[in-house]
């Protein structure tokens, strides 16, 4: 069992939901995000519900790259070792290219890809020293195809993260370091709550239970929830672009 788990983007959404699910399984948690107040409330809630679970929290902006390495190392010192890192922090702001929203698109691209790169680098430095660990990257079903309008850059970054994760997995193949890329479907979070079209969306608790169950199996890749997103992944991959354009 992976006992000590670090989760980024843990102040809300999937990060918060996964933290609660892992706490229920008796895992110690290292939680970080830009907003401390929600994490302080989360820490208090988890420790009250599960007195044997240790929860450490730190502020982290994943686009502050030196801070990523500092925070991960500090958590390693807190816990003695880190068994699993879940690269979850991300954002979904943006708009169609050429409509005056470059800064929003740039921020999403930097957070979701370069920020994820920094997290993967920091995690793997620790895992290589330990000669063990499980790196989990949270991509998206939108990574399967190019997506229009506000989701374009978000989907592109998640596709890049998916490819990078496979490259890391190839790099550590045959070692005690494991790498999993998780592709969530529509799970209700602050990122997608305003989407007018979110087919087959599930509530946060249901989605996070499925995420944790998939992560604990340590697959190379998993579409979550498996139903309906495994067959939907096939549809998305081969469907005409005009079908994809109507999905969001």
Cβ-proximal residues to 153 (8 Å cutoff; 6+ apart), any chain: 94, 97, 105, 108, 109
Confidence of residue 240 (pLDDT cuts 50, 70, 90): confident
pLDDT at 67 > cutoff 60? yes
Confidence of residue 239 (pLDDT cuts 50, 70, 90): confident
For 207-231, what is each residue's pLDDT tens digit?
999 999 999 999 999 999 998 899 8
For 154-201, what is each residue's pLDDT tens digit?
999 999 999 999 999 999 999 999 999 999 998 887 655 555 555 666
Cβ-proximal residues to 219 (8 Å cutoff; 6+ apart), any chain: 180
User: Mean of the pLDDT values across residues 43-68?
Assistant: 98
pLDDT in the model for residue 51: 96
pLDDT in the model for residue 180: 98
Report the alpha-carbon distance of residue 200 to residue 223 in Å, rounded. Answer: 14
pLDDT at 3 > cutoff 70? yes
Q: What is the CATH number of the domain that holds 70?
A: 3.40.50.720
pLDDT at 46 > cutoff 80? yes
DSSP state of 111: I
226 backbone φψ class: left, alpha, beta (φ>0; ψ -120 to 50) = alpha
Active-site annotation holds for 154: yes
Confidence of residue 73 (pLDDT cuts 50, 70, 90): very high
pLDDT in the model for residue 54: 98
**Mean pLDDT over the full length of the chain:** 93
Q: Taking a C-beta distance cutoff of 8 angstroms, is the pair 114, 61 a contact?
A: no
Q: Which strands, in side-by-side order, build the sheet including 133-138?
A: 55-59, 28-33, 4-8, 84-87, 133-138, 177-184, 221-224
Burial zone of 99 (CB within 10 Å; 0-12 exposed, 13-18 middle, 19+ buried)? exposed
Report the alpha-carbon distance of residue 24 to residue 143 in Å, rounded. Answer: 30
The residue that leads in pLDDT, 197 or 26, is 26
Q: Which domain holds residue 191?
A: 4-245
How many domains does the chain contain in total?
1
Burial zone of 100 (CB within 10 Å; 0-12 exposed, 13-18 middle, 19+ buried)? exposed
pLDDT in the model for residue 246: 77
pLDDT in the model for residue 238: 87
Quick one: which of 212, 235, 213 has its CA closest to 86?
212
For 78-135, what is each residue's pLDDT tens digit?
999 999 999 999 998 899 999 999 999 999 999 999 999 999 999 999 999 999 999 9
Query: What is the DSSP code string of 199-228?
Result: TT-B-HHHHHHHHHHHHHT--SEEEESHHH
Given 50, 65, 101, 154, the catalytic residue: 154
Place of tokens 């996964």: 18
Q: Which residues share a beta bridge with 190?
A: none
Report the chain's C-alpha Rg in angstroms: 17
Q: Residue 11: enclosing H or E segment and its boundaries?
A: none
């Amino acid at each position: 069992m992976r006992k000590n788990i670090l989760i980024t983007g843990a102040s809300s959404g999937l990060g918060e939901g996964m933290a609660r699910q892992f706490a229920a399984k008796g895992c110690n948690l290292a939680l970080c995000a830009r907003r401390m107040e929600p994490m302080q409330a989360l820490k208090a809630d988890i420790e009250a519900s599960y007195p044997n679970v240790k929860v450490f929290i730190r502020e982290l902006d994943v686009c502050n790259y030196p801070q990523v390495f500092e925070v991960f190392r500090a958590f390693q010192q807190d816990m003695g070792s880190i068994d699993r890192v879940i690269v979850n922090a991300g954002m979904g702001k943006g708009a169609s290219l050429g409509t005056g929203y470059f800064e929003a698109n740039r921020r999403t691209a930097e957070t979701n890809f370069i920020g994820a790169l920094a997290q993967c680098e920091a995690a793997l430095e620790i895992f290589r020293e330990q000669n063990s660990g499980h790196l989990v990257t949270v991509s998206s079903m939108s990574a399967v195809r190019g997506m229009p309008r506000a989701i374009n850059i978000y989907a592109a970054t998640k596709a890049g993260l998916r490819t990078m994760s496979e490259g890391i997995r190839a790099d550590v193949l045959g070692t005690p370091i494991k790498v999993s890329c998780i592709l969530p479907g529509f799970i209700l979070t602050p990122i997608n709550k305003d989407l007018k079209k979110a087919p087959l969306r599930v509530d946060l608790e249901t989605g996070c239970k499925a995420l944790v169950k998939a992560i604990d199996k340590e697959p190379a890749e998993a579409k979550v929830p498996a139903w309906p997103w495994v067959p939907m992944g096939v549809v998305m991959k081969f469907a005409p672009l005009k079908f994809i354009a109507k999905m969001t």
